[in-house]
Structure 1
């Protein structure tokens, strides 16, 4: 899965330029937009959902899984991107993330499959910790080779 992000040009590195999570979500959607998987309005959908339901996208400490409702009209294809921020993005007093795995899915089955595959990958011992130390593409490739996921 890690090499798939790379092959699809869906890995990016970003500095936290402002402290608001809304900007981070928009940044995490850029690769999916550039590669044609989503329209730019999808980021606004995710932001609206977080405003409505709270920071449900922070799934474990340090990791966010931005996504909107299944079957969004702003999704053109199914993919997951990874944006690694240089420091934590704070959503609430007890929820922050540095790794943003942004999901886009054309239908409910693909949405569920994305979440399942990503969750399984994130349970790999040491992976999240190693990804938190990644600063550039070379670091990322080393982690991807180490885990061969």
Structure 2
């Protein structure tokens, strides 16, 4: 599933100039908007979730997974991936700072949870997380997946 969803158009490596969680969430969400998989309003919902729930989306050391509840704003299950050139603090007590960001969009609860679970399994491997910090192209990411 990840290879079908995490396509070249929604991946950016060494993104510069983002200094706040809101900027990171917006940038990663905009990739999904530009790919036609979510509406602009979904970015607003991800930002609202961050403001209302705090840094819950920082799921592991250095890794954030911005998302919002499934809604009509998402046309198909999707994920974007950005690697930040400079880490950003999301104010998480244990898992800051963040360099790897996977924004997720789900159509309904089941697909949303399945996406989170599959991505979680992929990221639980220490070698995968380390490679994500050093890959230089989408092709290397595709092989890693």
The alignment's TM-score, normalised by the length of structure 2, stands at 0.87
Report the CA distance between 1:5 and its aligned residue: 4.9
Q: Which runs of 5 or more residues in structure 2 are unaligned?
A: none
Q: Please tell me the root mean square deviation across aligned C-alpha atoms, in Å.
A: 2.0
Aligned to 1:90: 89
Is 1:62 the equivalent of 2:62? yes
Aligned to 2:119: 118
Q: SS at the partner of 1:75?
A: coil
Matches within 5 A, 1:33-44: 33-44=33-44
Report the CA distance between 1:13 and its aligned residue: 2.6
The alignment's TM-score, normalised by the length of structure 1, stands at 0.85
Q: SS at the partner of 2:26?
A: helix
Q: Which runs of 5 or more residues in structure 1 are unaligned?
A: none
Q: Tell me if structure 2 keeps the 8 A contact 1:21–1:90.
A: yes
Report the CA distance between 1:12 and its aligned residue: 1.4
Matches within 5 A, 1:14-53: 14-53=14-53
Runs of 4+ with >6 A deviation? none
Q: Tell me if structure 1 keeps the 8 A contact 2:6–2:79.
A: no
Q: SS at the partner of 1:83?
A: strand
For 1:142 and 1:76, the matched residues in 2 are separated by 28
Aligned to 1:102: 103
Q: Tell me if structure 1 keeps the 8 A contact 2:6–2:81.
A: no
